[in-house]
Copies of this chain bind each other. A is one copy, B any other.
Amino acid sequence: MEEAEKIVMVRGFRASAVAAGLKKNKGPDMALICSECDATAAGVFTTNKVKAAPVLLTREHITSGRARAIVVNAGNANACTGAPGLDDARTTAELVAKGLGLHPEDVLVASTGVIGKPLDMGLVSAAIPRLIESLSSDGLTSAAMAIMTTDSFLKISQFAGHAGGRPFSIQGIAKGAGMIMPDMATMLCFITSDIAIEPDDLKKAFYKSVEKSFNRISVDGDTSTNDMVLVLANGMAQNGRLSERDFREFETGLGQVMEELARMIVKDGEGASKLVDIRIKGADNARDAINAARTVANSSLVKTAFYGQDPNWGRIMAALGRSGIVMNEGSVDIWVNDIQIVADGLGMGVDAEKRAAEMMTLEKFTVTVDLKQGEHEDQVVTCDLTHDYISINADYRT
């Protein structure tokens, strides 16, 4: 990973990473991303009622719709740390603001790591000046590495487009793995763009993209206290006012970047060996479509069958049956890729299952369920549940 290619950042952005000493392995564990001018900003946060201190602070800071910097630490979640934890998040923002000549409200804070331990502010305070010193226009890769915890690979995605005849770009980094679940999978994701865009337009494109990407993935059904996706657009592309076409191009690009990052997160789900798209067709209503997809995607038994490369459609039927949707068992069709294994609720026999099992040896496949109750569709990306998930999570803290 030391040899990851250093990519050039979006115009007007710089980033850096240092080892503050918060991670047990003493590797890089703090990152800073900042824009040289004011940026339009938007964010979405965990729906968990237990929210980490940085989530509370950043929600407050982002209400202005503008921001300049994001400071992140890995190794300590600063969650379940009470009022002192919130003070620590606030102090972090203040120290960064002071070093960069900004207002504390311009700084967004994110954390990931162990819950319930006070943040070592001695280490954080000592690291911030070094973070500021080392800011550079090729620092994104280092920042992406520093925010990793149980992640096994780097997650960066980019998009280049045109608006008002001027080139603009979008870059995103993310960390994920484990505890991945809608709404707001447990993960951090930071997106930068140089597009000039109105706050309302940014929010519109951003929320839509989150809904189709991070809110459509699942690893283990748990939801974290620290989830956060942030976007900063600093306008340095000087594209002028966005036309309808320009907006759509930006929206497409943002959607692509987020979807790629979301899929990387599932692919890197703790211990995962397979990426599986769960597609629900023919649902009676939109809510049923997503509920069915999520229940199948989160079923431990279904996910273990994926690991075992076993087209055990009975487990899929059982998951559908408890998902609370409108369904008729006798109308259900199920496919693995293009191999139909269930027709009208009945198995298609050993040959079909054998061919489906072959599809399941692939690293990536799609399970499609047609409920034949209506016209609604939805889809969730999930992974298999493996021996390694247990190993990683049984040993995480100890």
Chain A interfacial positions (CB closer than 8 Å to B): 47-51, 77, 79-82, 114-117, 178-179, 220-225, 298-301, 304-305, 307-310, 312-315, 317-322, 325, 327, 329-330, 342, 344-347, 385-387, 389-391, 393-398
Give A81 Cβ to nearest chain B Cβ, in Å. Answer: 7
Within 8 Å CB of A81, what residues of B? 346
Within 8 Å CB of A389, what residues of B? 300, 304, 390
- Once the chains are docked, how many angstroms separate the CA of A178 from the CA of B318? 13
Task: Specify which of B49, B308, B387, B398 is in contact with A322 (CB 8 Å cutoff).
Answer: B49
Task: Specify which of B49, B307, B395 is in contact with A329 (CB 8 Å cutoff).
Answer: B49
Within 8 Å CB of A298, what residues of B? 221
Question: Is A300 in contact with B82, judged by CB distance below 8 angstroms?
Answer: no
Question: Is A304 in contact with B82, judged by CB distance below 8 angstroms?
Answer: no
Question: Is A82 in contact with B330, judged by CB distance below 8 angstroms?
Answer: yes
Within 8 Å CB of A394, what residues of B? 304-305, 307-308, 310
Question: Is A390 in contact with B48, judged by CB distance below 8 angstroms?
Answer: no
- Once the chains are docked, how many angstroms separate the CA of A179 from the CA of B128? 49
- Once the chains are docked, how many angstroms separate the CA of A117 from the CA of B311? 13
Question: Is A390 in contact with B221, judged by CB distance below 8 angstroms?
Answer: no
- Once the chains are docked, how many angstroms separate the CA of A79 from the CA of B345? 10
Closest Cβ neighbor of A306 among chain B residues: B394
Within 8 Å CB of A385, what residues of B? 300, 390
Question: Is B396 in contact with A386, judged by CB distance below 8 angstroms?
Answer: no
Give A114 Cβ to nearest chain B Cβ, in Å. Answer: 7
Within 8 Å CB of A313, what residues of B? 80, 115-116
Question: Is A318 in contact with B222, judged by CB distance below 8 angstroms?
Answer: yes
Question: Is A221 in contact with B393, judged by CB distance below 8 angstroms?
Answer: no
**Seed contacts A49-B329, A304-B393; 14 additional CB < 8 Å A-B pairs:** A47-B322, A179-B301, A179-B318, A221-B221, A221-B298, A223-B318, A225-B317, A300-B389, A304-B390, A307-B390, A308-B393, A310-B396, A312-B397, A386-B390
Given the known interface contacts A115-B315, A222-B315, A300-B221, the answer about A80 and B347 at a Cβ–Cβ threshold of 8 Å is yes
Most buried by B among A305, A312, A313: A312
Question: Is B321 in contact with A49, judged by CB distance below 8 angstroms?
Answer: yes
- Once the chains are docked, how many angstroms separate the CA of A220 from the CA of B396? 21
Given the known interface contacts A346-B116, A387-B387, the answer about A222 and B319 at a Cβ–Cβ threshold of 8 Å is yes
Within 8 Å CB of A321, what residues of B? 48-51, 223, 225
Between A and B, 30 residue pairs with Cβ closer than 8 Å are A48-B318, A48-B322, A49-B327, A50-B320, A50-B321, A50-B329, A80-B329, A80-B347, A115-B315, A116-B313, A116-B314, A116-B347, A178-B301, A220-B301, A221-B298, A221-B299, A221-B300, A222-B300, A222-B301, A222-B322, A223-B318, A225-B314, A300-B300, A305-B394, A305-B396, A307-B390, A308-B396, A308-B398, A387-B390, A387-B391
